[in-house]
Amino acid sequence: MVRKRGHSILSGTGAVRAHARATGKSEEEAARDLRYAFLRETAQMLGAQIALAHHADDNAETVLLNFVRGTDLRGLCGMRPKQGDIVRPFLEQTREELVTYAHAHNIPHVEDHTNADPNAAARNYLRLEILPRLRELNPRAPQHIATTARSLTALDDALEQAAEAALSHAKAQDGGISLSLDCFLAADEVVQPRILLHLADALGLGRKDIGRKQLDAICALAQRGGSAERRYTLPQSATVRIADGALTMAFSPAALPKAALVENVPLPWGNFELTLLHKPDGEGISLRVPEDGEIITVAPCDLNARLMLQGANGARSVKRLCVDRKLSLTERDALPALYVGGRLAAVWRLGTDVAFLPKDGKRARFVRVVPR
């Protein structure tokens, strides 16, 4: 029929089962991936758009399926008539209307035999078991669902525009994307999660890695108030940091390495340069002379490790000492910790454990610490 109308046909094949195994998806989802990949590749080659035959019943199924699985507003909007390189010209027509038209004009069509099996897929169950019951309540149920989806789409678009307007004030900063906290909080609470998703897009994080739970937690942190730095960890080593009047989303830097200090050899480490010396020179940390076999190393500080500082009533955790000195989370992460023979001896800006302090009149070692 296509050739009779003067059109050409391009076809392709794909290893559906292999793709399903490789991606962990069902064969139905894998086939959809390969089908859309072929359509997009062919459309790009021809400079054409992709027209899909989704109709009002398909859209009603999509809305209901998203609803029962759990979704946000966007999932209740169903399919859009135009979305990127895809158009859906039949989205306002029901399946019955299309079948009637095809019969009236002698247009043949092919049915996928699996469509008649309600147990083949959740969508089939909705189509064969649920929608017929909804039509018993109202014969135009699919159309009404589609109308509601269109109204929700208009609302969704308005919320997206509000989020994009707020995002226009964001800027690249410290290897991430930063937005004024006042600007974020000025947005309606229903818009704030969308702003976070746009920040994730700008960072290249990907929305699939951020769910409702994470979005709500970040919004709650932002709304908490106070001047203390707050932080939330996201997948892919990304973090949201709220401090200094800004909300910043960034990928966490790679953990600083453990490294041995060699006498008189400066060692760049994070934001500092450390040099092991025989006597004090500038700012730094004094330690007792290591015993045979002990090596002085620098590494990130373990927040749960404990230091017994001179004059203190008992050992305290590094985390507690950081809080006492009102160090921000960013400052805390950058602190170099010195280890002697694998034991925590001192942490810059916190102090030296009494077990590693130089003895009166005894030789000592000095680690000079210079900010870079």
CA dihedral for 294, 298, 302, 308, sign (positive or negative): positive
Q: Which residues of 33-52 are buried (b: 16+ CB within 10 A; e: fewer)?
A: ebeeeebeeeeeeeeeebeb
pLDDT, tens only, 180-208: 999 999 999 999 999 999 999 999 887 87
pLDDT tens profile 239-276:
999 988 999 999 887 788 999 999 999 999 999 999 99
Class of domain 169-251: alpha beta
Binned at pLDDT 50, 70 and 90, residue 52 comes out as: very high
For residue 211, name the pLDDT band (cuts at 50, 70, 90). Answer: confident
89: Cβ contacts below 8 Å, ≥ 6 apart: 51, 81
Question: How confident is the model at residue 28, as a pLDDT?
Answer: 78
- In CATH, which of 3.40.718.10, 3.40.50.620, 3.30.200.20, 3.20.20.70 is domain 49-160? 3.40.50.620
Which residues, other chains included, contact 317 with Cβ-Cβ below 8 Å and sequence gap of 6+?
303, 304, 305, 306
3-class secondary structure per residue, the chain = CCCCCCCCCCCCCCCHHHHHHHHCCCHHHHHHHHHHHHHHHHHHHHCCCEECCCCHHHHHHHHHHHHHHCCCHHHHCCCCCEECCEECCCCCCCHHHHHHHHHHCCCCCCCCHHHHCCCCCHHHHHHHHHHHHHHHHCCCHHHHHHHHHHHHHHHHHHHHHHHHHHHCCCEEECCEEEEEHHHHHHCCCCCHHHHHHHHHHHHCCCHHHCCHHHHHHHHHHHHCCCCCCEEEEECCCEEEEEECCEEEEEECCCCCCCEECCECCCEEECCEEEEEECCCCCCEEEEECCCCCCCEEEEECCCCCEECECCCCCCEEHHHHHHHCCCCHHHHHHCEEEEECCEEEEECCCEEEHHHCCCCCCCEEEEEEEEC
CATH 3.40.50.620 residue ranges in the chain? 49-160
Rounded to 10°, the helix 212-223/192-203 angle is 110
pLDDT tens column, 315-363: 999 999 999 998 888 888 889 999 999 999 999 999 999 999 998 777 8
According to the model, what pLDDT value does residue 227 have? Answer: 78
Per-residue burial over 335-357, b if 16 or more Cβ lie within 10 Å, else e, is: bbbbbbeeebbbbbbbbbbeebb
Q: What is the pLDDT of residues 130-152, one digit of tens each?
A: 999 999 999 999 999 989 999 99
Bridge-based pairing state of the strands 336-340 and 343-347: antiparallel
The pTM assigned to this predicted structure is 0.70
In percent, the amount of the chain with pLDDT more than 90 equals 65
349 versus 4: the higher-pLDDT residue is: 349
Q: How far apart are CA 346 and CA 298, in angstroms?
A: 10
User: In whole angstroms, what is the distance from residue 357 CA to residue 294 CA?
Assistant: 15
pLDDT given for residue 180 in this prediction: 95
The residue among 197, 210, 88, 97 whose CA lies nearest residue 143 is 97
- What pLDDT does residue 153 have? 94
Task: Give the pair of three-digit tokens for residue 81.
Answer: 């008539």
Mean of all residue pLDDT scores within the chain:
91
At 308, the pLDDT band (50, 70, 90 cuts) reads very high
d(CA 278, CA 117): 82
- The pLDDT, as a whole number, for residue 50 is 94
CB 112 within 8 A of CB 127: no
What pLDDT sits at residue 349? 95
